[in-house]
C-alpha cells in the first residue's frame, strides 16, 4: 500500500471519527433544543458578541500587520529583519495561557501600564477584563501571524516591478495604490478570514479575559454547558450551532481563494527605491517598532515577572513539577501522533490532488480541528463516552486524541509544501531508478524532509503542550498540566505563583520545540 493510500485511509478514518462525534452530538441534542437555543436572549447576546469580537480582532490584527509588513517589505536591509520575522513566529509557539499572563502583567489592574500611570501621578487604572482584554490578546497572537501571512505577497512582486516604479517616478502613495493595494486584495481576504476563524474559536483568551457573561463566546458557552451546568444536550446543541458557523466561515475562506503560505517564503527580491528616502525610512522604522513593541512587551513582562516568581515567590514546587510531567506526557505523544498522521495525509493531499472526492476527504481531515471547532469535537467525544466508560479514567487518552486532531492542521500545513516539492523534483528520477516504498523514504524523502518533519513535530508538540481546550474539558484535580494550573492561578488572581508557572510552561514548550526540531530535523 502506498503512502498516499495510507494517507487517504487515515483521512477517511478521521472524517468518520468526526462524523461519529457528530452523531453523538445529534443524539444528545434535538431540533427542539436548537430552536430553544435561538430563543434564548442570553445566547443571542453570546452569538452577537462572538462575531463582534472576532471581526474587531481580525480588523485590528490585519490593519497592524499591513502597516508592519509593508514597512518590512520596503526596508529589506532593516537591521535585525530576519530576527524580527522569527520573532513574529513566537506568538504561534507561546502557549496561549502564558501569553495571556504576559498581557495581564502589562495591561492588567496591577501591571506595567498601571505602574506607569501611577508614576505619572494619575489614578487611572486600566481595566483589561472584557472586550478590551480580548482584543489586546487576539491582536498579540494574530498580528504577527498576519505579518507572516501577508509578507509573501510582496515577495511575489518581481524586482523589475520596483525598478519600473522607480523609472516611472511613482511616489510611495502611488505605489501603494497601484501595486500594493491590488496585491493585498489577493492576499488579505484569506488572511482576514483565517484570523477571524481563529478569534471566533478562541477559547483560552475569552475564558481568561472575558470576565463574565457579558463577554462570552460560543466556544466558552459550550464549555460552560458541559463542565459547569453538566447539561450535555445543551452543550451538544451549542456545538452544532458553532460547527454550522464554522462551516460557513471555512466555505468563505475557500471562496476567498489563495492558498495561505505558512512557509518561510519571506525572502524578498529587489530594492525598493521609494523606501530609501529619510522620511520613508523613519515611517517604516516607526511602524515596525510599534508592531514589534506591542508583541514584545507581554513577552518581556512574562519573562521578567516569571524569573522573579520562580526565584522569590513561594511556590508549590511539587505541584509545578507534577504538572510539568503531565504536560510532557500528554503533549509530546499528541505532537508525534499528529506528525505520523500528517505525513501520509500531506503525501495523499499532493498525489491525489486531481481526484475531487479524495481532495474533499483529505481537506476535511486536515482541517477537522478548525471546521469542527475544538470544543465541539471534545463535546462529541464526551457525549459518546458518557455512561459507557469512566470519564476520568480515559481522560488522558481524550486529551491526547483531541490535541492530535487539533494540531493536525499545523503538521499537514508544514509538511504538504515540502512533500509536494519532493514529489515534483524527484518522482521521475526515483521512477527511473526503481526507488519506491521504504527504500525511497530512506534514501530520498527522509533526508530531504527531516527538517520539515522536525519542524512539524516540534510545532505540534509545543502547541499541544500549551493548549487549554482539551485539558479544560477533560482535566481534573488528578489530571492537571501546566496550562490548567496556570489558568487556575490566573483565575484566582494569584499572579505571583502564576508568573512562575507561566515562565516554566513557556520554557518547557520552547525547549521541547527546539529539542524536537533539532533532534528530528538534524543540524543544518
Partner 1 sequence: MSQRAFLEIEGLAFTYEDLVMRFDLAVDAGECVGVVGPSGAGKSTLLALIGGFETPLAGSIKVDGRDITHLPPAERPVTSLFQDFNLFPHLSAADNVGLGRDPGLRLTADDRAQVAWALGEVGLAGFEARLPGQLSGGERQRVALARSLIRNRPLLLLDEPFAALGPALRAEMLELVDRLRRAQGMTVLLVTHDPNEAARIAARTAFVSEGRVVMFGRTPDVLGSSEPVVRAYLGER
CB 67 within 8 A of CB 291: yes
Q: Least distance in Å: CB of 170 to partner 1?
A: 4
Find, among 192, 383, 386, 171, the residue nearest to 280 by Cα.
171
Work out whether 165 is an interface residue with partner 1 (CB under 8 A): yes
> Could you give the 3-state DSSP secondary structure of residue 477?
coil
Backbone φ and ψ for 353, nearest 5 degrees, come out as -65, -15
> Between residues 138 and 272, which has the closer beta carbon with respect to partner 1?
272
Q: Judging by beta carbons within 10 Å of its beta carbon (0-12, 13-18, 19+), is residue 169 exposed, middle or buried?
A: exposed
> Between residues 162 and 203, which has the closer beta carbon with respect to partner 1?
162
Q: Least distance in Å: CB of 181 to partner 1?
A: 10
Backbone φ and ψ for 294, nearest 5 degrees, come out as -60, -40
Q: Which stretch binds partner 1 (CB under 8 A): 168-176, 364-372, 454-462, 477-485?
A: 168-176
CB 37 within 8 A of CB 238: yes
> Between residues 173 and 428, which has the closer beta carbon with respect to partner 1?
173
d(Cα 281, Cα 82) in Å, to the nearest integer? 18
Q: Least distance in Å: CB of 280 to partner 1?
A: 13
> Between residues 163 and 353, which has the closer beta carbon with respect to partner 1?
163
Q: How many Cβ atoms from other residues are within 10 Å of residue 198's Cβ?
A: 18
Residue from 166, 296, 304, 386 binding partner 1 (CB under 8 A): 166
CB 144 within 8 A of CB 62: no
> Between residues 130 and 269, which has the closer beta carbon with respect to partner 1?
269
Residue from 16, 20, 31, 168 binding partner 1 (CB under 8 A): 168
Work out whether 158 is an interface residue with partner 1 (CB under 8 A): yes
Q: Which stretch binds partner 1 (CB under 8 A): 114-122, 171-179, 208-216, 368-376?
A: 171-179
d(Cα 504, Cα 323) in Å, to the nearest integer? 10
Q: Least distance in Å: CB of 430 to partner 1?
A: 31
Residue from 179, 280, 386, 435 binding partner 1 (CB under 8 A): 179
Q: What would you report as the CA-atom Rg of the chain, rounded to the nearest whole angstrom?
A: 24
Q: Which stretch binds partner 1 (CB under 8 A): 165-173, 187-195, 422-430, 457-465?
A: 165-173
Would you give the binding string for partner 1 spanning residues 180-209, x where CB under 8 A is met? Answer: --x---------------------------
Would you give the binding string for partner 1 spanning residues 412-431, x where CB under 8 A is met? Answer: --------------------
> Between residues 184 and 191, which has the closer beta carbon with respect to partner 1?
184
The grid coordinates listed for 235 are 452543550
- Chain centre to alpha carbon of residue 403: 12
Q: Least distance in Å: CB of 187 to partner 1?
A: 13
Residues 6 or more apart whose Cβ sits within 8 Å of residue 181:
none
d(Cα 488, Cα 507) in Å, to the nearest integer? 19
> Could you give the 3-state DSSP secondary structure of residue 476?
coil
Residues 269-288 that bind partner 1 (CB under 8 A): 271, 273
> Between residues 36 and 271, which has the closer beta carbon with respect to partner 1?
271
> Between residues 186 and 425, which has the closer beta carbon with respect to partner 1?
186
Task: Tell me the DSSP string of 195-259.
Answer: HHHHHHH--HHHHHHS-SGGG--HHHHHHHHHHTS--HHHHHHHHHHHHHHHHHHHHHHHHT-S-
d(Cα 285, Cα 78) in Å, to the nearest integer? 8
Residue from 27, 86, 122, 174 binding partner 1 (CB under 8 A): 174
- Chain centre to alpha carbon of residue 513: 15
Residue from 40, 115, 160, 229 binding partner 1 (CB under 8 A): 160
The grid coordinates listed for 250 are 471555512
Would you give the binding string for partner 1 spanning residues 225-264, x where CB under 8 A is met? Answer: ----------------------------------------
Alpha carbon separation from 210 to 140, 143, 198, 482 (Å, rounded): 16, 20, 16, 21
> Between residues 177 and 355, which has the closer beta carbon with respect to partner 1?
177
> Between residues 256 and 420, which has the closer beta carbon with respect to partner 1?
256
Question: Taking the alpha carbons of 299, 300, 302, 307 in that order, is the dihedral positive or negative?
Answer: positive
Find, among 77, 214, 97, 191, the residue nearest to 145 by Cα.
191
Q: Least distance in Å: CB of 421 to partner 1?
A: 24
Residue from 169, 279, 387, 434 binding partner 1 (CB under 8 A): 169
Q: Least distance in Å: CB of 76 to partner 1?
A: 14
Q: Least distance in Å: CB of 161 to partner 1?
A: 6
Total H helices, total E strands in the chain: 23, 0
d(Cα 338, Cα 331) in Å, to the nearest integer? 11
Residue from 30, 171, 289, 425 binding partner 1 (CB under 8 A): 171
Give the number of residues in contact with partner 1, rule: CB under 8 A: 20
Work out whether 447 is an interface residue with partner 1 (CB under 8 A): no
> Between residues 87 and 176, which has the closer beta carbon with respect to partner 1?
176
Residue from 113, 137, 145, 170 binding partner 1 (CB under 8 A): 170
Q: Which stretch binds partner 1 (CB under 8 A): 103-111, 160-168, 331-339, 366-374?
A: 160-168
CB 348 within 8 A of CB 359: no
Q: Which residues bind partner 1 (CB under 8 A)?
A: 158, 160-161, 163-171, 173-174, 177-179, 182, 271, 273
Amino acid at each position: 500500500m502506498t503512502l498516499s493510500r495510507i494517507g487517504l485511509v487515515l483521512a477517511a478514518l478521521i472524517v468518520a471519527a468526526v462524523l461519529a462525534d457528530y452523531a453523538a452530538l445529534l443524539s444528545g441534542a434535538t431540533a427542539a433544543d436548537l430552536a430553544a437555543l435561538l430563543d434564548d436572549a442570553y445566547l443571542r447576546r453570546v452569538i452577537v458578541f462572538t462575531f463582534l469580537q472576532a471581526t474587531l480582532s481580525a480588523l485590528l490584527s490585519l490593519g497592524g500587520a499591513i502597516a508592519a509588513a509593508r514597512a518590512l517589505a520596503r526596508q529589506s536591509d532593516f537591521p535585525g529583519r530576519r530576527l524580527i520575522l522569527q520573532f513574529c513566529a513566537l506568538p504561534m509557539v507561546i502557549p496561549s495561557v502564558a501569553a495571556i499572563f504576559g498581557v495581564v502583567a502589562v495591561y492588567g489592574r496591577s501591571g506595567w501600564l498601571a505602574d506607569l500611570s501611577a508614576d505619572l501621578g494619575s489614578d487611572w487604572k486600566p481595566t483589561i477584563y472584557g472586550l478590551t482584554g480580548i482584543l489586546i490578546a487576539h491582536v498579540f497572537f494574530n498580528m504577527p501571524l498576519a505579518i507572516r501571512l501577508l509578507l509573501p505577497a510582496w515577495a511575489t512582486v518581481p524586482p523589475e516591478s520596483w525598478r519600473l516604479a522607480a523609472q516611472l517616478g511613482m511616489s510611495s502613495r502611488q505605489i501603494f495604490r497601484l501595486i500594493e493595494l491590488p496585491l493585498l486584495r489577493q492576499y488579505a481576504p484569506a488572511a482576514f478570514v483565517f484570523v477571524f476563524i481563529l478569534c471566533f474559536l478562541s477559547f483560552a483568551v475569552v475564558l481568561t479575559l472575558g470576565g463574565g457573561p457579558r463577554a462570552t463566546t460560543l466556544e466558552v458557552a459550550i464549555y460552560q454547558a458541559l463542565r459547569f451546568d453538566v447539561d450535555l444536550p445543551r452543550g451538544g446543541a451549542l456545538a452544532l450551532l458553532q460547527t454550522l458557523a464554522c462551516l460557513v466561515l471555512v466555505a468563505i475562506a475557500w471562496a476567498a481563494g489563495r492558498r495561505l503560505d505558512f512557509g518561510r517564503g519571506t525572502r524578498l527580491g529587489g530594492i525598493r527605491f521609494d523606501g530609501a528616502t529619510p522620511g520613508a525610512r523613519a515611517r517604516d522604522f516607526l511602524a515596525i517598532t510599534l508592531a514589534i513593541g506591542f508583541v514584545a512587551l507581554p513577552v518581556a513582562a512574562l519573562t521578567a515577572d516569571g524569573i522573579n516568581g520562580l526565584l522569590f515567590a513561594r511556590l508549590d514546587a511539587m505541584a509545578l513539577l507534577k504538572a510539568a510531567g503531565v504536560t510532557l506526557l500528554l503533549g509530546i505523544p499528541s505532537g508525534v501522533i499528529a506528525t505520523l498522521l500528517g505525513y501520509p495525509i500531506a503525501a495523499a493531499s499532493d498525489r491525489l490532488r486531481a481526484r475531487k472526492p479524495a481532495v474533499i476527504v483529505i481537506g476535511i481531515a486536515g482541517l477537522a480541528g478548525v471546521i469542527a471547532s475544538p470544543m465541539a469535537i471534545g463535546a462529541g467525544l464526551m457525549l459518546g463516552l458518557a455512561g459507557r466508560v469512566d470519564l476520568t479514567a480515559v481522560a488522558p487518552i481524550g486529551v491526547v486524541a483531541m490535541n492530535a486532531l487539533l494540531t493536525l492542521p499545523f503538521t499537514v500545513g508544514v509538511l504538504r509544501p515540502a512533500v509536494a516539492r519532493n514529489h515534483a523534483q524527484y518522482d521521475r528520477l526515483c521512477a527511473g531508478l526503481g526507488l519506491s516504498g521504504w527504500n525511497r523514504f530512506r534514501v530520498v524523502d527522509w533526508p530531504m524532509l527531516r527538517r520539515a518533519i522536525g519542524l512539524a513535530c516540534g510545532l505540534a508538540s509545543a502547541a499541544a503542550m500549551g493548549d487549554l481546550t482539551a485539558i479544560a474539558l477533560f482535566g481534573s484535580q488528578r489530571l492537571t498540566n501546566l496550562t490548567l494550573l496556570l489558568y487556575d492561578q490566573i483565575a484566582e488572581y494569584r499572579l505571583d505563583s502564576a508568573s512562575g508557572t507561566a515562565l516554566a510552561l513557556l520554557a518547557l514548550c520552547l525547549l521541547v520545540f527546539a529539542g524536537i526540531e533539532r533532534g528530528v530535523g538534524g543540524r543544518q
